[in-house]
Structure 1
């Protein structure tokens, strides 16, 4: 049996550095490390800090006083907290209407229609304008004296309705304003997803006789699952952290009936309630846990689906 001699390493040949030997494994981490650091500093650390502050009575400037779970016990008996939580749940349910609305608008805009660029611009417009502008536009729209809504109601013989001044209607009026740009955002997600739909599957379904709702439900929608997942997560997070429209349109009124948790957190921590940072942090923790439940559920569902394939 013959053996092949391994030539010795030449002493003149330079040794490769550690990075060169591990370049394939190390290079991705060099790109990820800045993003991970930003995530840790601006997301994870504030979350931990919120949990910590919620255990103290603190005005943001003086000495902290440890109170344990007292802030959470106070939340349990706070009617304003329950009003805010109820409004958040209403936001959550009705805000989800933006997803099917965005899907159907995207399906329309994906067709070959005369003047489709104009239609796309009109539907895209709410997404690019500021939420402050949206709030002001709908405030004028709802105005009981000169607003367009009451002008239309007057034409059909109905009396003026003070949407933003009536505790019964105010939350629904603000949600309608929020649905306008949120629907545009979901539309953009679905337009992007429709570009990735496999035309061969569509053609095969046509040959099998599928059309209309069957084509949409069994062929198109399953291929739009990634876009639907993003739309659900973004819409749920947007509904739970709704703040700017409420601040612009009602400032929590009338009588605090349009508050949500994020706005109530702002009020107790930084507004007229005496800078109660600990109590505001407790509200923030509750809001975070609610968001975490929804997002964890969707992530787990996506993970199970990927494992199933």
Structure 2
């Protein structure tokens, strides 16, 4: 006698049921990805598009092709802004070794280390606006602490923010203060993940001091170093708030950087040259993309060689 066969219902049916473990992470990521696409990726392509137009932000757009980019080549203010960005980039990189040195010091077991950590951590938690105001008062030629110190040692006072040759470096010094604190936090986190067994093995082999740091500690801090480089480069290239607070681009436009010049052209001048401002933003984006892509490629090559 033939028996009736029933379909096997022990396995889940339907695409979602079969792939729910694979789909679950994407469902959690979906809101963040949508926000990222809408607020980051889409504006990037929109900036590229607007850079080929002459537009005041309200009326009709007029196609001008590469005219905005051709004007950048002969724009003296753009040249000054670009060179200032390079100064920011080179000097901001000092935050990485400085942050590493402070992190190595704070990683020791000494009396009052929590107080020292709090003092070094403090610049990171305060606003850039507050940093700009503090350093503006510090540099003030009449009552600033800097000139008080210079006069106490017999030197003549200087007007840092009023001198076109010194103003950019004065603002960079103000920006380095919180940036060093940020790099310090990254390296302190990385030092907590350093393998103590490798440290002990290196000590048994006679490694200490700089040899220990270079051959044992720094290779394990490579992820923290990569993040520090990327964040520092992005911070240097998108510098805006300190310049706006401390000099507003002066004196005589000597402290402009690309992000500030983009703001001036797109939103602060009569006529509102959105297309020209977008062209400046595209140049700034490509510079950032070059450096970040280089570090990503270097990290990939290093990981591949292991």
TM-score range, shorter chain: over 0.9
Q: Match for 1:262 among 252, 255, 259?
A: 259
Give 1:3-22 correspondences, 5 Å limit: 8-10=5-7, 16-22=13-19
Task: Report if the CA contact (8 A) 2:12-2:18 is conserved.
Answer: no
> Unmatched 5+ residue regions in structure 1?
1-6
Partner of 2:183: 186
2:252 aligned counterpart, secondary structure: coil
Aligned length: 303
How far apart are 1:26 and its partner, in Å?
Answer: 1.4
Partner of 1:146: 143
Q: Match for 2:70 among 73, 78, 90?
A: 73
1:149-189 residue CA offsets vs partner (Å, 9 max, x unmatched): 00000011111100000001000000000000000000000
Residues 65 and 115 of structure 1: CA distance in aligned 2, closer, same or farther (over 3 Å): same
Q: Which stretch of the first structure deviates more once superposed, 28-37 or 120-129?
A: 28-37
> Unmatched 5+ residue regions in structure 2?
none
Give the Cα–Cα distance (whole angstroms) in 1 for the partners of residues 12 and 244 of structure 2: 64
How far apart are 1:39 and its partner, in Å?
Answer: 1.4
1:262-309 residue CA offsets vs partner (Å, 9 max, x unmatched): 000000100025310000000000000000000000111111122222
How far apart are 1:30 and its partner, in Å?
Answer: 1.1
Residues 77 and 200 of structure 1: CA distance in aligned 2, closer, same or farther (over 3 Å): same
Give the Cα–Cα distance (whole angstroms) in 2 for the partners of residues 12 and 96 of structure 1: 62
Partner of 1:164: 161
Q: Which stretch of the first structure deviates more once superposed, 25-34 or 293-302?
A: 25-34
Partner of 1:235: 232
Task: Report if the CA contact (8 A) 1:267-1:273 is conserved.
Answer: no
How far apart are 1:17 and its partner, in Å?
Answer: 3.4
Partner of 2:60: 63
**2:260 is aligned with 1:249:** no
- Tell me how large the CA RMSD over aligned residues is: 1.4
Q: Match for 1:223 among 220, 224, 228?
A: 220
**2:122 is aligned with 1:92:** no
Give the Cα–Cα distance (whole angstroms) in 2 for the partners of residues 108 and 14 of structure 1: 59
Partner of 1:3: none
Q: Match for 2:293 among 292, 296, 300?
A: 296
Q: Match for 1:284 among 258, 281, 286?
A: 281
Give the Cα–Cα distance (whole angstroms) in 2 for the partners of residues 188 and 142 of structure 1: 27
**2:42 is aligned with 1:41:** no
Residues 13 and 160 of structure 1: CA distance in aligned 2, closer, same or farther (over 3 Å): closer
Residues 14 and 63 of structure 1: CA distance in aligned 2, closer, same or farther (over 3 Å): same
Residues 15 and 306 of structure 1: CA distance in aligned 2, closer, same or farther (over 3 Å): closer
Task: Report if the CA contact (8 A) 1:241-1:262 is conserved.
Answer: yes
Partner of 1:201: 198
**2:291 is aligned with 1:305:** no
Give the Cα–Cα distance (whole angstroms) in 2 for the partners of residues 113 and 279 of structure 1: 55
**TM-score, normalized by length of structure 2?**
0.96
Give the Cα–Cα distance (whole angstroms) in 1 for the partners of residues 174 and 222 of structure 2: 27
1:234 aligned counterpart, secondary structure: helix
2:58 aligned counterpart, secondary structure: coil
Give the Cα–Cα distance (whole angstroms) in 1 for the partners of residues 181 and 244 of structure 2: 22
